[in-house]
Amino acid sequence: MPCWKVLFLLFFIPLLLIFLISPSTVSSYSLDVKVSSSVKVNLSVYYETLCPSCANFIVKNLMSIFNDGLFDIINLRMVPWGNAHMNRVNNTIVCQNGLDECELNTIQACAINVFRDVNKYYGLIFCMEFLAIEGRHQNWQTCFDSLGLSAKSVLKCYNNGTGTKLEVEHGYETAHLDPPQSFLPWVVVNYQPLGNCRITTILQLMYAMLTKALLNPVSANCLQQISAQ
């Protein structure tokens, strides 16, 4: 289905219904509304670390969920693999953007596994992707210091082969996506892929599907962000 049709079905119709209900209902969407923490929406991002569109999405778009009241009800999963593949001849991982990307994919996989706390590992991923945008990805180790995080366990994971095993698992998961990944970043909300739309459209669809998946009203701030796209 074309992106504009998906966007229309998932965003414009639900938003129109909200404003057609009644003025009193609309006014209830205030910044004081609290979303129930018992409602969890699964948001998975399949990406690769030196992909420009992935880095821009992580730094400039995805970061917004931490600021608009949605983060508390989201299970965010980051899956660093992208278009990598296994070389069956020597059983090694080959990455689309070279050895540096394989290294960063594995480092980020280790960080996710070691820290567990999404605020910590997303902060690290954000920092590394920011450096990637600026062409300074080789300085990724400085991100640990700037965030006050220890690199010891992450580097141990990377050096002892655990990171490679994690990446193989990410590769298996990515290869078995249904429908298959055809664009990066590949964003999935409650197991429904947003497809190969433009980044701005993906962001609109992501917010539309997140708000549609909630059982409680969302904040006016969230609605404003959707409308502003």
Q: Is the per-residue pLDDT at 13 higher than 50?
A: no
Residue 74 in domain: yes
With bands split at pLDDT 50, 70 and 90, how would you rate the model's confidence at 105?
very high
Backbone angles phi, psi at 133, to 5 degrees: -60, -35
Q: Which one is predicted more confidently, 125 or 39?
A: 125
Residue 188 in domain: yes
| Residue 60: both structure tokens together | 């400039």
pTM, full prediction: 0.75
3-state SS, residue 42: strand
Q: Is the per-residue pLDDT at 16 higher than 50?
A: no
Q: Is the per-residue pLDDT at 3 higher than 60?
A: no
Rounded mean pLDDT, 69-73 = 74
72 closest CA partner among 104, 38, 97: 38
Residue type, 213: A
- To the nearest whole number, what is the mean pLDDT of the chain? 78
Residue 20 in domain: no
| Residue 71: both structure tokens together | 């983060």
pLDDT digits (tens, 9 = 90+) for 164-197: 999 999 999 999 999 999 889 999 988 888 876 6
Rounded mean pLDDT, 6-14 = 40
Would you state the pLDDT for residue 199?
A: 63
Would you state the pLDDT for residue 175?
A: 95
The position carrying tokens 């119709």 is: 13
Residue 55 in domain: yes
The position carrying tokens 């509304």 is: 33
Cα 101–chain centre separation: 18
Which structural domain range is residue 131 located in? 41-214
Q: How far apart are CA 228 and CA 20, in angstroms?
A: 19
H, E, C per residue of 82-151:
CCCEEECCCCEEECCCCHHHHHHHHHHHHHHHHHCCHHHHHHHHHHHHHHHHCCCHHHCCHHHHHHCCCC
Q: Is the per-residue pLDDT at 30 higher than 90?
A: no
- pLDDT exceeding 70 applies to what percent of the chain? 68
Residue type, 112: I
Rounded mean pLDDT, 87-116 = 96
Please give the tally of structural domains in the chain: 1
Q: Which one is predicted more confidently, 28 or 207?
A: 207
Q: Is the per-residue pLDDT at 24 higher than 50?
A: no
Would you state the pLDDT for residue 25?
A: 32
CA dist list (Å): 209 to 55, 125, 188, 226: 22, 24, 10, 11
Residue 35 in domain: no
Residue type, 74: I
Would you state the pLDDT for residue 221?
A: 40
CATH number of the domain that residue 171 is part of: 3.40.30.10
Would you state the pLDDT for residue 63?
A: 85
Residue 164 in domain: yes
Least confident of 51-55, 179-183, 218-222: 218-222
Cα Rg of the chain, angstroms: 19
Would you state the pLDDT for residue 4?
A: 42
Handedness of CA 78, 182, 93, 57 (dihedral sign): negative
Rounded mean pLDDT, 49-60 = 95
With bands split at pLDDT 50, 70 and 90, how would you rate the model's confidence at 127?
very high
Residue type, 62: L
Q: What is the dihedral of CA 116, 106, 43, 115, to 10 degrees?
A: 10
Residue 9 in domain: no
Rounded mean pLDDT, 9-25 = 37
Residue 21 in domain: no
Whether the CB-CB separation of 177 and 46 falls below 8 Å is answered with yes
Query: CB burial class (10 A; 0-12, 13-18, 19+) of residue 66?
Result: middle
Whether the CB-CB separation of 229 and 200 falls below 8 Å is answered with yes
